[in-house]
Structure 1
Amino acid sequence: MKVSKTSVEVRYAETDQMGIVHHSNYIIWMELGRTQLIKDLGFSYAQMENSGILAPVLDVRVSYQKPLTYGEEAIIHTWIESYDGFKVVYGYEIHNQKGEVSVTGSTTHVCVKKETFKPVRLKKMFPEWHKAYEKAMKKQELQES
Protein backbone atom coordinates (compact mmCIF):
# COMPACT_ATOMS: atom_id res chain seq x y z
CA MET A 1 0.00 0.00 0.00
CA LYS A 2 1.24 3.46 -0.87
CA VAL A 3 1.60 5.49 2.34
CA SER A 4 2.44 9.15 1.93
CA LYS A 5 4.15 11.02 4.74
CA THR A 6 4.27 14.73 5.40
CA SER A 7 4.96 16.69 8.54
CA VAL A 8 4.11 19.96 10.23
CA GLU A 9 5.55 21.62 13.30
CA VAL A 10 2.85 22.31 15.86
CA ARG A 11 2.40 26.08 16.02
CA TYR A 12 1.35 27.96 19.13
CA ALA A 13 -1.88 29.14 17.47
CA GLU A 14 -2.92 25.49 17.01
CA THR A 15 -2.96 24.80 20.74
CA ASP A 16 -5.66 25.41 23.33
CA GLN A 17 -5.53 26.68 26.92
CA MET A 18 -4.20 23.31 28.05
CA GLY A 19 -1.22 23.66 25.71
CA ILE A 20 -2.28 20.76 23.47
CA VAL A 21 -3.32 20.78 19.83
CA HIS A 22 -6.98 21.75 19.46
CA HIS A 23 -8.92 18.83 17.98
CA SER A 24 -10.00 20.78 14.88
CA ASN A 25 -6.42 21.08 13.64
CA TYR A 26 -6.09 17.35 13.06
CA ILE A 27 -8.71 17.55 10.30
CA ILE A 28 -6.69 20.32 8.63
CA TRP A 29 -3.60 18.13 8.87
CA MET A 30 -5.54 15.25 7.29
CA GLU A 31 -6.16 17.55 4.33
CA LEU A 32 -2.42 18.25 4.12
CA GLY A 33 -1.78 14.51 4.10
CA ARG A 34 -4.43 13.84 1.46
CA THR A 35 -3.04 16.58 -0.79
CA GLN A 36 0.48 15.15 -0.38
CA LEU A 37 -0.68 11.63 -1.23
CA ILE A 38 -2.33 12.92 -4.40
CA LYS A 39 0.91 14.76 -5.30
CA ASP A 40 2.93 11.62 -4.60
CA LEU A 41 0.66 9.74 -7.03
CA GLY A 42 1.43 12.40 -9.66
CA PHE A 43 -1.77 14.47 -9.54
CA SER A 44 -3.04 17.81 -8.25
CA TYR A 45 -6.22 18.79 -6.42
CA ALA A 46 -5.83 22.30 -7.85
CA GLN A 47 -5.83 20.98 -11.43
CA MET A 48 -8.94 18.92 -10.66
CA GLU A 49 -10.75 21.97 -9.34
CA ASN A 50 -9.59 24.11 -12.28
CA SER A 51 -11.27 21.59 -14.59
CA GLY A 52 -14.60 22.12 -12.78
CA ILE A 53 -14.57 19.06 -10.51
CA LEU A 54 -14.63 19.17 -6.69
CA ALA A 55 -14.13 16.36 -4.16
CA PRO A 56 -16.23 17.27 -1.11
CA VAL A 57 -15.92 15.44 2.19
CA LEU A 58 -18.92 13.20 2.93
CA ASP A 59 -17.70 11.79 6.22
CA VAL A 60 -14.91 12.39 8.74
CA ARG A 61 -13.92 9.97 11.47
CA VAL A 62 -11.27 10.83 14.05
CA SER A 63 -10.01 8.97 17.10
CA TYR A 64 -7.73 10.86 19.47
CA GLN A 65 -5.06 8.71 21.11
CA LYS A 66 -2.28 10.92 22.48
CA PRO A 67 -2.13 14.72 22.45
CA LEU A 68 0.48 16.71 20.55
CA THR A 69 1.83 19.94 22.03
CA TYR A 70 3.40 23.18 20.85
CA GLY A 71 6.81 22.68 19.25
CA GLU A 72 6.37 18.98 18.52
CA GLU A 73 6.41 17.64 14.98
CA ALA A 74 3.26 15.98 13.67
CA ILE A 75 3.93 13.34 11.01
CA ILE A 76 0.86 12.61 8.88
CA HIS A 77 0.63 9.16 7.26
CA THR A 78 -2.03 8.94 4.52
CA TRP A 79 -3.21 6.11 2.27
CA ILE A 80 -6.20 5.00 0.24
CA GLU A 81 -8.32 2.91 2.58
CA SER A 82 -10.88 1.94 -0.08
CA TYR A 83 -11.88 2.97 -3.58
CA ASP A 84 -14.74 1.66 -5.71
CA GLY A 85 -14.43 3.89 -8.80
CA PHE A 86 -16.89 6.38 -7.36
CA LYS A 87 -16.15 6.91 -3.67
CA VAL A 88 -12.73 7.06 -2.05
CA VAL A 89 -11.90 6.67 1.63
CA TYR A 90 -8.54 7.97 2.77
CA GLY A 91 -6.98 6.60 5.96
CA TYR A 92 -4.75 8.58 8.32
CA GLU A 93 -2.43 8.17 11.26
CA ILE A 94 -0.82 11.23 12.79
CA HIS A 95 2.30 10.42 14.80
CA ASN A 96 4.47 12.44 17.14
CA GLN A 97 8.21 12.64 16.52
CA LYS A 98 8.76 9.58 18.76
CA GLY A 99 6.62 7.56 16.34
CA GLU A 100 3.69 7.25 18.76
CA VAL A 101 0.20 7.43 17.23
CA SER A 102 -1.63 10.58 18.25
CA VAL A 103 -4.67 10.34 15.97
CA THR A 104 -6.23 7.82 13.60
CA GLY A 105 -8.99 8.66 11.17
CA SER A 106 -10.55 8.59 7.74
CA THR A 107 -12.34 10.87 5.30
CA THR A 108 -14.77 9.85 2.56
CA HIS A 109 -15.06 11.77 -0.72
CA VAL A 110 -16.84 11.71 -4.08
CA CYS A 111 -16.21 13.89 -7.13
CA VAL A 112 -18.91 16.34 -8.22
CA LYS A 113 -19.36 18.94 -10.94
CA LYS A 114 -18.64 22.38 -9.52
CA GLU A 115 -21.73 24.04 -11.03
CA THR A 116 -24.32 21.40 -10.15
CA PHE A 117 -22.75 19.27 -7.40
CA LYS A 118 -23.89 16.29 -9.48
CA PRO A 119 -21.65 13.28 -8.73
CA VAL A 120 -19.30 12.06 -11.45
CA ARG A 121 -17.19 8.92 -11.78
CA LEU A 122 -13.47 9.44 -11.34
CA LYS A 123 -12.89 6.79 -14.02
CA LYS A 124 -14.69 8.89 -16.64
CA MET A 125 -13.37 12.34 -15.67
CA PHE A 126 -9.81 11.41 -14.69
CA PRO A 127 -8.91 7.95 -16.04
CA GLU A 128 -5.26 8.23 -14.94
CA TRP A 129 -6.30 8.96 -11.32
CA HIS A 130 -8.66 5.99 -11.50
CA LYS A 131 -5.84 3.70 -12.66
CA ALA A 132 -3.50 4.96 -9.94
CA TYR A 133 -6.14 4.45 -7.22
CA GLU A 134 -6.99 0.96 -8.47
CA LYS A 135 -3.29 0.09 -8.55
CA ALA A 136 -2.87 1.34 -4.98
CA MET A 137 -5.85 -0.79 -3.89
CA LYS A 138 -4.50 -3.91 -5.66
CA LYS A 139 -1.19 -3.51 -3.85
CA GLN A 140 -3.07 -3.21 -0.57
CA GLU A 141 -5.18 -6.30 -1.32
CA LEU A 142 -2.05 -8.31 -2.12
CA GLN A 143 -0.42 -7.23 1.13
CA GLU A 144 -3.52 -8.23 3.13
CA SER A 145 -3.61 -11.73 1.56
Structure 2
Amino acid sequence: MHISKKEIEVRYAETDQMGVVYHANYLVWMEVGRTGLIQDMGLNYAGMEAEGVLSPVTDVQVSYKKPLTYGDVATVHTWVELYDGLRVQYGYEIYNQHGELAIEATSWHVCVKKENFRPISIRRKFPEWHEAYENIKKK
Protein backbone atom coordinates (compact mmCIF):
# COMPACT_ATOMS: atom_id res chain seq x y z
CA MET A 1 0.00 0.00 0.00
CA HIS A 2 1.37 3.38 -1.02
CA ILE A 3 0.83 6.38 1.31
CA SER A 4 1.28 9.85 -0.14
CA LYS A 5 2.42 12.57 2.29
CA LYS A 6 1.92 16.32 1.88
CA GLU A 7 2.92 19.03 4.37
CA ILE A 8 0.69 22.07 4.88
CA GLU A 9 1.54 25.03 7.08
CA VAL A 10 -1.61 26.21 8.85
CA ARG A 11 -2.41 29.77 7.77
CA TYR A 12 -4.21 32.29 9.95
CA ALA A 13 -7.08 32.48 7.44
CA GLU A 14 -7.74 28.75 7.97
CA THR A 15 -8.55 29.19 11.65
CA ASP A 16 -11.85 30.11 13.29
CA GLN A 17 -12.73 32.43 16.18
CA MET A 18 -11.46 29.81 18.64
CA GLY A 19 -8.02 29.88 16.98
CA VAL A 20 -8.23 26.33 15.63
CA VAL A 21 -8.46 25.13 12.03
CA TYR A 22 -12.04 25.51 10.81
CA HIS A 23 -13.43 22.01 10.24
CA ALA A 24 -14.19 22.41 6.52
CA ASN A 25 -10.56 23.25 5.75
CA TYR A 26 -9.64 19.63 6.45
CA LEU A 27 -11.72 18.69 3.38
CA VAL A 28 -9.56 21.01 1.27
CA TRP A 29 -6.42 19.42 2.71
CA MET A 30 -7.83 15.99 1.92
CA GLU A 31 -8.14 17.11 -1.71
CA VAL A 32 -4.50 18.23 -1.63
CA GLY A 33 -3.59 14.76 -0.36
CA ARG A 34 -5.74 13.01 -2.98
CA THR A 35 -4.21 15.07 -5.79
CA GLY A 36 -0.73 14.25 -4.51
CA LEU A 37 -1.54 10.54 -4.39
CA ILE A 38 -2.82 10.64 -7.97
CA GLN A 39 0.34 12.44 -9.06
CA ASP A 40 2.41 9.77 -7.27
CA MET A 41 0.54 7.23 -9.43
CA GLY A 42 1.72 9.11 -12.56
CA LEU A 43 -1.81 10.29 -13.37
CA ASN A 44 -3.79 13.54 -13.16
CA TYR A 45 -7.40 14.63 -12.94
CA ALA A 46 -7.01 17.14 -15.78
CA GLY A 47 -6.56 14.34 -18.32
CA MET A 48 -9.70 12.61 -17.07
CA GLU A 49 -11.69 15.85 -17.19
CA ALA A 50 -10.46 16.54 -20.73
CA GLU A 51 -12.23 13.31 -21.71
CA GLY A 52 -15.51 14.55 -20.20
CA VAL A 53 -15.29 12.59 -16.95
CA LEU A 54 -15.55 13.98 -13.41
CA SER A 55 -14.91 12.34 -10.06
CA PRO A 56 -17.33 13.77 -7.48
CA VAL A 57 -17.28 12.98 -3.79
CA THR A 58 -20.25 10.79 -2.83
CA ASP A 59 -19.54 10.42 0.88
CA VAL A 60 -17.15 11.83 3.50
CA GLN A 61 -16.53 10.73 7.06
CA VAL A 62 -14.21 12.71 9.35
CA SER A 63 -13.27 12.12 12.99
CA TYR A 64 -11.62 15.08 14.65
CA LYS A 65 -9.05 13.95 17.23
CA LYS A 66 -6.86 16.95 18.07
CA PRO A 67 -7.09 20.58 16.95
CA LEU A 68 -4.51 22.23 14.76
CA THR A 69 -3.74 25.93 15.18
CA TYR A 70 -2.12 28.79 13.28
CA GLY A 71 1.55 28.07 12.62
CA ASP A 72 1.27 24.30 13.05
CA VAL A 73 2.58 22.10 10.28
CA ALA A 74 0.07 19.45 9.21
CA THR A 75 1.10 16.34 7.31
CA VAL A 76 -1.65 14.76 5.23
CA HIS A 77 -1.30 10.99 4.70
CA THR A 78 -3.48 9.66 1.86
CA TRP A 79 -3.98 6.16 0.46
CA VAL A 80 -6.50 4.04 -1.44
CA GLU A 81 -8.55 2.22 1.17
CA LEU A 82 -10.92 0.38 -1.20
CA TYR A 83 -11.33 0.16 -4.96
CA ASP A 84 -13.81 -1.98 -6.91
CA GLY A 85 -13.44 -0.84 -10.53
CA LEU A 86 -16.26 1.70 -10.16
CA ARG A 87 -15.78 3.42 -6.80
CA VAL A 88 -12.71 4.54 -4.87
CA GLN A 89 -12.49 5.06 -1.13
CA TYR A 90 -9.52 7.14 -0.04
CA GLY A 91 -8.22 7.04 3.52
CA TYR A 92 -6.64 10.01 5.28
CA GLU A 93 -4.81 10.78 8.47
CA ILE A 94 -3.62 14.28 9.25
CA TYR A 95 -0.88 14.71 11.86
CA ASN A 96 0.59 17.74 13.59
CA GLN A 97 4.32 18.49 13.64
CA HIS A 98 4.70 16.37 16.80
CA GLY A 99 3.31 13.28 15.06
CA GLU A 100 -0.02 13.49 16.92
CA LEU A 101 -3.13 12.44 15.01
CA ALA A 102 -5.46 15.38 14.30
CA ILE A 103 -8.05 13.67 12.06
CA GLU A 104 -8.96 10.31 10.55
CA ALA A 105 -11.15 10.39 7.46
CA THR A 106 -12.40 8.61 4.37
CA SER A 107 -14.02 9.84 1.18
CA TRP A 108 -15.84 7.88 -1.52
CA HIS A 109 -15.64 8.91 -5.18
CA VAL A 110 -17.19 7.67 -8.38
CA CYS A 111 -16.38 8.69 -11.96
CA VAL A 112 -19.26 10.13 -13.97
CA LYS A 113 -19.88 11.51 -17.45
CA LYS A 114 -19.80 15.29 -17.28
CA GLU A 115 -22.89 15.79 -19.47
CA ASN A 116 -25.29 13.59 -17.49
CA PHE A 117 -23.53 12.52 -14.25
CA ARG A 118 -24.03 8.84 -15.10
CA PRO A 119 -21.40 6.60 -13.48
CA ILE A 120 -18.75 5.03 -15.68
CA SER A 121 -16.50 2.04 -15.11
CA ILE A 122 -12.95 3.15 -14.31
CA ARG A 123 -11.83 -0.36 -15.24
CA ARG A 124 -13.16 0.00 -18.81
CA LYS A 125 -12.82 3.73 -19.54
CA PHE A 126 -9.43 4.30 -17.88
CA PRO A 127 -7.48 1.02 -17.76
CA GLU A 128 -4.29 2.83 -16.71
CA TRP A 129 -6.09 4.29 -13.67
CA HIS A 130 -7.57 0.87 -12.90
CA GLU A 131 -4.16 -0.77 -12.95
CA ALA A 132 -2.64 1.99 -10.79
CA TYR A 133 -5.45 1.69 -8.21
CA GLU A 134 -5.12 -2.09 -8.13
CA ASN A 135 -1.38 -1.75 -7.54
CA ILE A 136 -1.56 0.69 -4.63
CA LYS A 137 -4.83 -0.13 -2.85
CA LYS A 138 -4.78 -1.42 0.71
CA LYS A 139 -4.33 -5.18 0.71
TM-score, with structure 2 as normaliser: 0.98
Q: Which residue of 2 aligns with 1:122?
A: 122
Counterparts of 1:45 and 1:73, CA distance in 2: 26
Q: Which residue of 1 aligns with 2:28?
A: 28
Q: Superposition RMSD on alpha carbons, in Å?
A: 0.7
Instruction: Give the partner amino acid of 2:91.
Output: G
Counterparts of 1:101 and 1:48, CA distance in 2: 33
Q: Which residue of 1 aligns with 2:42?
A: 42
Q: Which residue of 2 aligns with 1:56?
A: 56
Cα displacement (A) at 1:22: 0.4
| 1:26-105 → structure 2 map (5 Å cutoff) | 26-105=26-105
Q: How many residues align?
A: 139
Instruction: Identify unmatched segments of 5+ residues in structure 2.
Output: none
SS across alignment from 1:48: helix
Q: Which residue of 1 aligns with 2:16?
A: 16
SS across alignment from 1:18: coil
Counterparts of 1:74 and 1:129, CA distance in 2: 28
Query: Residues 9-65 of structure 1: CA distance to partner in whole angstroms, max 9, x if unpaired?
Result: 100000011110000100110000000000000000111111110000000000000
Runs of 4+ in 1 over 2 A off after TM superposition: none
Counterparts of 2:95 and 2:105, CA distance in 1: 12
Instruction: Give the partner amino acid of 1:45.
Output: Y
From the two aligned structures, give the one with the greater helix fraction: 1
Cα displacement (A) at 1:6: 0.5
Counterparts of 1:127 and 1:8, CA distance in 2: 32
